[in-house]
Amino acid sequence: MSSINLMERATEIRDSQLFERRAKVDRMFAVLLAVQYVAGILAAFVVSPYAWEGKERALHTHVWVAILGGAGIVILPILLAMFRPGTAVTRHVIAASQMLSSALLIHLTGGRIETHFHVFGSLAFLAFYLDWKVILTATTVIAADHFARGIFFPESVYGVANPEWWRFLEHAGWVVFEDIFIVWACFLGLREIGQASQRQAEVEQLSEREQLKTAALEMALAEMQATA
C-alpha cells in the first residue's frame, strides 16, 4: 500500500466512522424531537388549556399551536432521520427544527428564563455531530426567531411586553459564547477521529505486508518441495 493509498484509506475510514456517528445522532434526535413534541402539548394543556368565550369554553390557542405548529416542526426531520440518516441535509434540518422546538417551548411557557436553557442544551446535543456548520445553522435559526419575535411578540420570548432594545443582543451573546467552545470541541473531535483513522490505516498496511511476505514464503517453500 503506497503512501497515497494509505491517505485514501485513512480518509475512507474517517468518513465511514463520521457517517455512522452522524446517522446514530440523527436517530437520537428523531426520538428527542418526538418527545419534545409531546412535552410541548402537555405544557400547553397545563399552562393554559382552556379559554372562555362568553358561555362557551374552547381550547386555548396555545394548545393548537403546540399540536399543529409542533407537528409542522418535527415531521420533516423525523422522516429524514428515518430515510436519509447521516446526510448533511438531514442534520441541518434537524438543527433548525431543534431550535424551533426550543422557540416553541419558550413561547408556550411565556418566555420563562428557565426554558431558554433548552437552547443551550440543544446546542450541546448538536455538537455530537462534530460539524461546526450545523452549529451555525442552529444559531442562525434561534437568533432570527428571537429577533423577529422580539419585535412583534416580545412577551413570548422575554416574558415582558416592553423589553430593553438590547435584550436580543444579550441572548445572542450567550449563545455565541457557547458556540465558541462547541465549535472548538467539534474540531478537536474531528482531529481525534482523523488520527485514529490514520493509525488504523497504518495497521492495515502492516498487516497486508505481513500477509504478502507469508504468501511469498509459502510459495517459495512449495517450489523447493516440488523440486526436491
pLDDT band at residue 130 under the 50/70/90 scheme: very high
pTM: 0.84
For the cut 60, the answer to whether the pLDDT of residue 50 exceeds it is: no
Question: How many angstroms separate the CA atoms of 100 and 94, rounded?
Answer: 10
Question: How many angstroms separate the CA atoms of 172 and 156, rounded?
Answer: 16
For the cut 60, the answer to whether the pLDDT of residue 182 exceeds it is: yes
Summarize the chain as % helix, strand, coil (round to 5). 85, 5, 10
pLDDT confidence of residue 158: 82
Mean pLDDT for all residues in the chain: 87
Number of Cβ within 10 Å of residue 49's Cβ equals 12
pLDDT confidence of residue 152: 84
For the cut 60, the answer to whether the pLDDT of residue 52 exceeds it is: no
pLDDT confidence of residue 53: 47
How would you label 10-24 residue by residue, b for 16+ Cβ within 10 Å and e otherwise? beebbeeebeebbbe
- Residue 34 identity: A
Q: Give the tens place of pLDDT for each residue, 94-129.
A: 999 999 999 999 888 888 888 889 999 999 999 999
Q: How many residues does the chain have?
A: 228
